[in-house]
Amino acid sequence: MAPVPNAATTRAFLAMSAATDWGVYHVDVKTAFLSAKMDKEMYIKLPDGVDPKGLEEMCRLNLALYGTKQARRLCDIKLDKDLTEMGAVRSKVELCLYEWCHTVHGRVFILVYVEDLIVAGEKSDGVEAIKRFISGKCEVRDMGEVKDFIGMKFMRNRAAKNLTLSDLGHSATLLKAFRMDKATPNKTPMAPGVKPTKKGAGLLPEGNRYADLVGSLLYLSTTTRPDIAFAVGVLLRFMSCPEEDNMRAAKGVSRYLHGTTRLGMFYGGSEPLHGFVDADWAGDMDGRRLTTGFVFTCNGGPTAWASKRRTTVATSTAEAKYVAAAIATKKALWLRKLLSALSVDGGAVAMGEDNQSCMAPVKIPEATGRTNHVDVAYHVVRDYQAHGDVAFYFLPSADMPADGLAKPLPSPKFRAFQAAVGVGEDLGAAALAPGLAPPC
């Protein structure tokens, strides 16, 4: 497999660089796979039109050629060996992240994405030292400061120490491909109160078109547009047998994108990791299963988020929120380790929760009378709360950002949700909604 970092790692890496005003540079390794030697004896047939010039018809393959199964893996092994030789240390939390410390050049972080390297350092000569070393091992192309990476567009104001990530190109391509570039815009991705069900009637004659549209929306919802994550999560439930109503709902999300193509994620300041969690009890009309949503912000922008229908059926709102809290806690622990690997110190992760009945078993483990039926896997939240790894506090539902990841919201609340998680067009003025700061 090719080395690909978690999307949250990339966002945390860039948010940290913006907050510390580190330079971020892009290095492209040319024909990266051909720099690694094959680990097995393999022969290839010369393609038609190639003059063998005395060679045999079948030639032994010495280097990891594109198309071989192990090429990506061998390239990763060689790159790891080269960076380790220089003294860089591979993170145990994220295997695509390296840290290089030097008494003169300072600290430098390297993020590997297949054959692209993103290098950030506190000193420019440290970054140049990394570039020189890598160029001595293989042929590279210095792309300068990062402007575009894996489809994301970078807009950075180093004087203000802020960064904006957007994906205008993918949004425009999607809208044009599905002929939605001239559609009437919607104010929200999904109207409040909408609860799609499988009727078994009005099936689309060709479901591939629906799958293509939802798949494109899914990519956006996991990279730069957390505001459509809930709506896309609902649409994914009907991939096997889409109906006409589902296609209309998917086009509704596209209409929303048409009016918000300029939106992106804004990172500014130096706010610590902060989590928000919510759940919709029995919102799934087909199986009455719960939907959980969480979002973590760091330096004012979204670092990780999710909106997903779970396999369990909760018997109460309190149980649904408790399950969501346990799932979000696991993510919080990983993000805490990731930020520690990026030399970002932090204590307990503040976690906003809007249900007092859920808060009771989290903070008071002895109060187990009404939670005996809850799966033991979800009680992990109690231990981490007691150990000080996470710190849950009550946050009123009106100020809960994760509400937009658990259910469709009306337009005013949806705009507040966007601002709270750092998504908006006027990103320089983006600010958290009132009441989001944890109590002292």
Amino acid making up residue 143: M
The strand pairing partners of 140, in sequence order, are 29
Which two three-digit tokens encode residue 64?
């990891």
Measuring CA to CA, how many Å separate 412 from each of 294, 377, 409, 419? 20, 37, 8, 11
Q: Output the pLDDT for position 431.
A: 39
Q: Break the chain into its structural domains and give their ranges.
A: 7-150, 167-440
CB 303 within 8 A of CB 11: yes
Mean pLDDT along residues 104-114: 91
- The domain made up of 7-150 has a fold known as Alpha-Beta Plaits (3.30.70)
* Residue 310: exposure state from Cβ atoms within 10 A (0-12, 13-18, ≥19): middle
30-60, pLDDT tens digit by residue? Answer: 877 777 888 888 888 877 777 767 666 678 8
Q: What's the number of CA atoms in the CB half-sphere (13 Å) around residue 328? A: 36
235-254, pLDDT tens digit by residue? Answer: 999 998 898 999 999 999 99
* Residue 327: exposure state from Cβ atoms within 10 A (0-12, 13-18, ≥19): buried
Among candidate residues 250, 105, 274, the one with its CA nearest the CA of residue 178: 250
**Which pLDDT band holds residue 148 (cuts at 50, 70, 90)?**
confident
171-230, pLDDT tens digit by residue? Answer: 999 999 999 999 999 999 999 877 777 877 778 877 789 999 999 999 999 999 999 999
Q: Output the pLDDT for position 9.
A: 95
- Distance between CA 359 and CA 336 in Å, rounded? 22
Measuring CA to CA, how many Å separate 238 from each of 107, 212, 215, 384? 48, 13, 12, 36
Backbone angles phi, psi at 156, to 5 degrees: -125, 140
426 pLDDT above the threshold of 50: no
Query: Which range is least confidently modeled, 165-169, 195-199, 250-254, 397-401?
Result: 195-199
295 pLDDT above the threshold of 80: yes
The strand pairing partners of 89, in sequence order, are 99
How high is the mean pLDDT of the chain? Answer: 86
**Which pLDDT band holds residue 371 (cuts at 50, 70, 90)?**
low
Q: Output the pLDDT for position 438.
A: 47
CATH class of 167-440: alpha beta
Among candidate residues 190, 384, 167, 410, the one with its CA nearest the CA of residue 275: 384
Contacts of 38 (CB under 8 A, 6+ apart): 61, 62, 63, 64, 68, 70, 74
Measuring CA to CA, how many Å separate 53 from each of 46, 63, 354, 378? 11, 20, 74, 67
Mean pLDDT along residues 314-335: 90
* Paired sense of beta strands 301-309 and 291-298, if any: antiparallel
Contacts of 437 (CB under 8 A, 6+ apart): none
Contacts of 126 (CB under 8 A, 6+ apart): 100, 102, 105, 106, 107, 108
Q: Output the pLDDT for position 319.
A: 85
Helix axes 168-177, 208-223, angle to 10 degrees: 170
258 pLDDT above the threshold of 60: yes
Which two three-digit tokens encode residue 159?
């004087």
Q: Output the pLDDT for position 377.
A: 61
261-290, pLDDT tens digit by residue? Answer: 889 999 987 789 999 999 988 777 777 888
SS3 294: strand
Query: Which range is least confidently modeled, 16-20, 21-25, 187-191, 369-373?
Result: 369-373
